[in-house]
């Protein structure tokens, strides 16, 4: 719902959730094209509300290269951090796994989708084409979300933002 300000309705900022693959790609040394697309995307999201989760922080913190880890943490430091410690998120992520939308061994991918869904995020952005950014996943996530009373979630790669 738009916000009312000084008698006029102002559209709300788009709520965007980034999984760990997006900040990682910002410093990608192996794929220069992906790195440039990600940096262009970074400029486009400035007018949006950007969210990550404590799972993103955990995954970044597991980066072996200390210099890279510190760069990544600085890159995301201004973003709002959503907690994944929530029964609704856990239940929804397990439902994605139960329905075979996300393989059980990649539960953390399901948690990224679940945290975005439960927190009413408009768009989840990821470079994970294996489990997250693919047509089958998008369709089945939204079928599941709607059947459980959640909103649809737009899932995209940075290049199409």
Evaluate whether residue 8 is within a structural domain: no
- Residues 126-136: pLDDT tens digits? 999 999 999 99
* Beta carbons within 8 Å of 112's beta carbon, 6+ residues apart: 17, 19, 20, 53, 55, 56, 124, 126, 132
Evaluate whether residue 119 is within a structural domain: yes
- Residues 91-136: pLDDT tens digits? 999 999 999 999 999 999 999 999 999 999 999 999 999 999 999 9
Domain holding 123, by residue range, is 14-160
Residues 50, 18 contacting (CB under 8 angstroms):
yes
Evaluate whether residue 6 is within a structural domain: no
Evaluate whether residue 5 is within a structural domain: no
Residues 76, 56 contacting (CB under 8 angstroms):
yes
Among candidate residues 28, 48, 46, the one with its CA nearest the CA of residue 36: 28
pTM for this entry: 0.92
Evaluate whether residue 4 is within a structural domain: no
User: Which domain CATH number covers 86?
Assistant: 3.40.50.1010
C-alpha to C-alpha distance for 100 and 19, rounded to whole angstroms = 20
Evaluate whether residue 3 is within a structural domain: no
């Amino acid at each position: 719902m738009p916000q009312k300000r000084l008698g006029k309705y102002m559209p709300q900022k788009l709520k965007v959730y980034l999984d760990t693959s997006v900040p990682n790609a910002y410093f990608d040394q192996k794929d220069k094209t992906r790195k440039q697309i990600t940096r262009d995307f970074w400029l486009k999201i400035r007018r949006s509300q950007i969210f990550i989760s404590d799972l993103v922080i955990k995954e970044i913190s597991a980066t072996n290269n200390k210099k890279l880890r510190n760069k990544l943490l600085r890159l995301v430091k201004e973003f709002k951090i959503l907690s994944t410690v929530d029964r609704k998120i856990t239940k929804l992520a397990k439902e994605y796994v139960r329905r075979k939308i996300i393989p059980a061994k990649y539960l953390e991918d399901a948690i990224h989708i679940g945290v975005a869904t439960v927190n009413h995020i408009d768009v989840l952005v990821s470079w994970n084409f294996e489990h997250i950014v693919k047509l089958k996943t998008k369709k089945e996530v939204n079928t599941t979300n709607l059947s459980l009373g959640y909103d649809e979630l737009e899932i995209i790669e940075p290049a199409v933002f």
